[in-house]
Structure formats: structure tokens, C-alpha cells
Structure 1
Amino acid sequence: MNKNFDFIMPSVNFFGAGVIEKIGKRAQMVNIHNALIITDSFLEKMPDGPVEQTINSLKQANINFSIYNEVEPNPKVRNIEAAKKVYLENDCDGIITVGGGSAHDTGKGTGIILTNGDDITKLAGIETLDNALPPLIAVNTTAGTGSELTRHCVITNEKTKLKFVVVSWRNVPLVSFNDPELMLNVPAKLTASTGLDTFVQAIEPYVSVNRNDITDGQCLQAIKLVEESLREAVANGHNLEARTKMVEAEMLGGMAFNNADLGYVHAMAHQLGGQYDAPHGVCCAILLPIVERFNIIASPERFADLAVAMGENIDGLSIREAADKAIDAMQQLNDDIGIPRSIKAIGAKPEDFELMAENALKDGNAFSNPRKATKAEIVELYQQAYDAE
């Protein structure tokens, strides 16, 4: 566990019903006068949705704006290049992202190539950025990735089908907004997928080699909140209490992995997402019980802690038996909210596993995994995920 560490998060985070109305004032405070709103066409068209509410707040603050509305799931290099063009053509001086992780990553990526060079693929890695991004504000609409308050920017190279990560403190938005009311109409499948991403992003930092006492507490509370609320949020998306707890979990998990990092679940999921353009949360969820069972021997006591956080009764069990309970609970949550058990469901092909395993071990998330794997072992984990029923 790290005893000397820095702790990174946005300087201001607004949480709760109605906070979106503060965007205009906050944009003024970070010297945005002509914003580029980065979002997708669905959110832009939603009556009284998050984009419309953002625009209303900007107008009240006399802030001009332009819109880039072509954000894709698993954002591509072409998306950030197109958004940069809109930014420059309209003389923008700041970025406001409205959406989930894809919008926030597109905004970060756009900022990166505006100030650090045109080719973002050359900047993959940890702390590779020399220059500050333009002022960045993130308005979050899903309880999922935590990207609105993290230093991670995940982009897909559509030419190579490889997802890569640019990790830098310069990527952290200056201000984040999490309003649970914006999430009431998120469909059940998306709620399940993003919610499981939140879950994974609380589990991996807890067993990471880069964890610390602060992130431990954040992870355990996030896991408890997910256990209390995700099933209900999927079953009844208009349950504001469940949505609120999921936002709290997402923020806690985001702050935790922003500082303690992740592991092989994300490293491997990035390859599935890049290769097959599959939903990130689904990829993570399928891999979670398989990868963490592999990890148990590195820290069985911590997996026993996870079992307790997930509400499992471990009285009378050995540490290893309690650790196994945690894996069972992970799989049960997946099953309860309709996550498939096999990566066959997202189109995975065994002939791709060798290349994906090689790239997974190069992913920035791989280095903090508690157990070190060979390429052959990563291939075997993909195979287990493929054969699962």
C-alpha cells in the first residue's frame, strides 16, 4: 500500500438535484466566454434534457456556445479531431461535456490535441502531457465511468481497433456536475452496464498495488451503495433514491481509481471494446468474476473484506472461503441485472485473444493489478470468459 501519495480530483464537484443550473456561473469563473458543448445527438434533442438545461444556464450567464453532437460510444480519434475543428472554427475558449464517459473522454481528447499536438496516439501513457488543456467542465448523465472527475482519457484508434489511455492530472475537469435527476430516464440496459462499471471501479482499486487508506474507504462505501441500489435502479429507473446512491457510488469509485488505479479487468476490457466496439461496462462486468478469481491468491484477506462489503455472511469461514464468497457475489449481481456470462455475447473471437492479451499487458491499467500474469495466462482468462455459461 502506498504511504506517500498524491490525491487527484476536480477542484469543485456539484452534486444533487438541480445543480445543473449553476453551470453558467461556474463557466464564468473559469473564464469560459465561448464554450464548445460536446455531447451526442440523442441528448441534444431531448426536450428539457441536460443539453437544453446547460444551454439555458449558459444563456443566463451571457456565455456563447457551439455544439459538437457526434460523440460515439467508445469514442474514436475521428471524434476528437472533428470536435477540435468545430472548436477552432468558432473561436471557442473552453469545453463543456454533457453525457456519460464517452462525452467526457471526447472532451478530454479534444482538449489534449488542442494544446499538446495533433496525434493523440503518441501521447498514450501516464503523465505524457506538457501543456494544460483548455478550461474543461463536465456535466455527467450516467452513474458509470467516473470520467467527469478522473485523469483518464480513453480513446479508440479506429484504424488499429486498439483502445489506449492518456492518464494525466491535466485531464481532470475543473468542475464536475452530478445531478441524479438527469439520470431518471436512462434505459435499464444502460443503467446495468454503467452501474457495473461503477462496481468494477470500486473493486479494482481496493485490491490495487497502488491503494491507500483513503481510497480503501471510498471503495468499500461505493460497493455498499451499489449493492443497496443498482438492482433497484435497473428495475425502476425513476427511483430517485436509488439513482442518487448510484451517483454517490460512481463519484466515490471515480475518486478511488483516479488515485489507486485499476487492474486487468479494465486492461482486458479495453481490448474487447476496441476490437468489437462493445459496451465498456458489459465488457468489465463479464470479466470481473473471472479476473478477480485469478487475483485472489495475491490478497485473499482483501477479497474477504469485499465479501463483507457486498453483504455476504462469512461467519465461520476461512479467509479463502470468504474470498470465494466475494467472487460468487460479483457473479450474482451480474446475473440479477441481465449481464451475459460469456464474451461470445459481444462478438468475441478466440483467434483475437493472442493480440488482445499482448495489448492488455501494455495497457496502463495492467501495472497496478495485484497479481502479475503472463501473456498465456491472459489468453486463458479470455478463454474462460468465452467458455463461461
Structure 2
Amino acid sequence: VVLYDKVESNPKDYNVMDSVELYQSNGCDSFVSIGGGSSHDACKGARISVAHDGRSVNEFEGFNKSENPKNPPHIAVSTTAGTGSETSWAYVITDTTTDPSKPHKYVAFDDASVATLAVDDPVLYFDCPVDYTAQCGFDVLAHASEPYVSRLNFAPSLGNALYAIKLTAQNLRQATWNPQELAGREGMMYAQYIAAQAFNSGGLGIIHSISHAV
């Protein structure tokens, strides 16, 4: 077992490629990511890079750019209730190398990036700080709201979107102010998962687009 613990918030391409180098040089055969969306996203990018002999993760920006779906196994263990990255086909990376003077943040969507196994256990959220809990909760709300008003108007996603909004309204305050109380944490666990299923098919909107520019 080897550890890469240098993933930054909004993971950079060099975080991904450093972990790929570590993986390859130590003869690893699988990945485990522990944390929130940044950890999971970096790992998803690394899996795709490894499956393509270490090619730059930035080559796979876009939709289903992966040419080899047989990635190493990936277990994603969440310690925050926010991004839903552990069960989605999207991952966000900041490209710092294509044009170093103008780094840009992009979203890649790839069926090959979906984790082999996701672990969502509300007990693992108990130590998440109050501010992170609240901020992640608003991410859940955005993930649920945007597909509901998306121009795609994808009917199967609407029920999930509404239910994730309801769960967030019912549980975010409790999870924030009583972090050791199971019910609130469990409610937000389900909210983040269901919201991710909503945007997986229903898409996102202007909130996320603006956040990339900001």
C-alpha cells in the first residue's frame, strides 16, 4: 500500500499525474480514495490515465474520451456529503499545463471513471467541520436544483432532484449544528447520493458554469 496525500481542493492535473507516477512505480493494482469530491475526482482521473499508459489526464477532457474502459478497480470512501462524486461519471480537474499562464478548470464525463465501489457511511461524516458540512450541503442543493430546471428537462431525473432538495431542507441544519447526531448525517448522505443521480442524467446549469470562471 502506498499513500498519496497531496490532493488540493479543486485538484490540479499535476496532483493526478503525481499519483499516476506513484501508482506505476510501485506496481499497484487498484485505487482507494478517501475524502470528498477532490480526492475522488483526482483518483478518477488517475485511473483513466493509468489505463492509457500514463497519458496526461488533460487529454480526456470532454465526453467519454477514454479509449480503454478497463480501468484499475477504485473504491471511493466519502467523508463529506456534498459532491456525490463517488457515484457519478463526472470529475473536475484544473489544467495548469496546456497554457500555464491561463489555467482552466474543466469537467470530464466518462463512463470509465465511475468508481467500482462507493462507501457512503454517515458515521464517517461525524468529524467533518461545521463550515465544510454547511458548504457541502449547499453543493448538494445546487446539484439537486440545477437538473430540476435544466433545459434538458429529463423526466426521470426530476423526482430524484426534488427528493434531494427535500432531504437537504430537512437535514442540513441538523447535520451542521449537531454533527454527532446520526439522523441528520444520514439524511445528507442520501441527499448527496440522490442529487448526484439527478445530475448524472439531468445535467447541471449556470451555477456550476459560473463557479468555474470564478
TM-score, scaled to structure 1:
0.52
Structure 1 position 179 matched with structure 2 position 121: yes
The one of 91, 94, 97 aligned to 2:33: 97
Q: Give me the whole-angstrom Cα distance separating, in 2, the residues matched to 1:169 and 1:85.
A: 23
The one of 131, 141, 156 aligned to 2:94: 156
Instruction: Give 3-state SS (helix, strand or coil) of 2:2's partner.
Output: strand
Partner of 2:64: 127
Q: Is the 8 A contact 2:17 2:56 kept in 1?
A: no
C-alpha RMSD over aligned residues = 1.2
The one of 139, 143, 156 aligned to 2:77: 139
Q: Give me the whole-angstrom Cα distance separating, in 2, the residues matched to 1:119 and 1:67.
A: 21
> How many residue pairs get matched?
208
Q: Give me the whole-angstrom Cα distance separating, in 1, the residues matched to 2:162 and 2:40.
A: 25
Q: CA deviation at 1:161?
A: 2.6
For 1:1-389, what aligned pairs fall within 5 Å after superposition?
65-116=1-52, 118-132=55-69, 133-158=71-96, 159=100, 160-272=102-214
Partner of 1:41: none
Q: Is the 8 A contact 2:46 2:57 kept in 1?
A: no
Q: CA deviation at 1:185?
A: 1.1
Q: Give me the whole-angstrom Cα distance separating, in 2, the residues matched to 1:211 and 1:231.
A: 30
Q: CA deviation at 1:129?
A: 1.2
Q: Give me the whole-angstrom Cα distance separating, in 2, the residues matched to 1:113 and 1:263.
A: 28
Q: CA deviation at 1:127?
A: 1.5
Q: Is the 8 A contact 2:17 2:57 kept in 1?
A: no
Q: Give me the whole-angstrom Cα distance separating, in 2, the residues matched to 1:134 and 1:204.
A: 32
Q: CA deviation at 1:214?
A: 2.4
Q: Give me the whole-angstrom Cα distance separating, in 2, the residues matched to 1:270 and 1:177.
A: 28
CA offset digits 1:184-234 (Å, max 9, x no partner): 111111001111001100000111123433211111110001001111211
Structure of higher RCO (CA pairs closer than 8 Å, 6+ residues apart): 2
Q: Which runs of 4+ in 1 moved over 4 A?
A: none
Name the stretch that deviates more: 205-214 or 100-109: 205-214
Q: Give me the whole-angstrom Cα distance separating, in 2, the residues matched to 1:235 and 1:180.
A: 15
Q: Give me the whole-angstrom Cα distance separating, in 1, the residues matched to 2:212 and 2:139.
A: 12
TM-score, scaled to structure 2:
0.93
Where is the helix percentage greater, Structure 1 or Structure 2? Answer: 1
Of structures 1 and 2, the larger Rg is shown by 1
Instruction: Give 3-state SS (helix, strand or coil) of 1:66's partner.
Output: coil
Q: Give me the whole-angstrom Cα distance separating, in 1, the residues matched to 2:46 and 2:63.
A: 18
Instruction: Give 3-state SS (helix, strand or coil) of 1:118's partner.
Output: coil
CA offset digits 1:227-267 (Å, max 9, x no partner): 01111211221121101000000000011111111011111
Question: What is the letter of the counterpart of residue 88 of structure 1?
Answer: Q
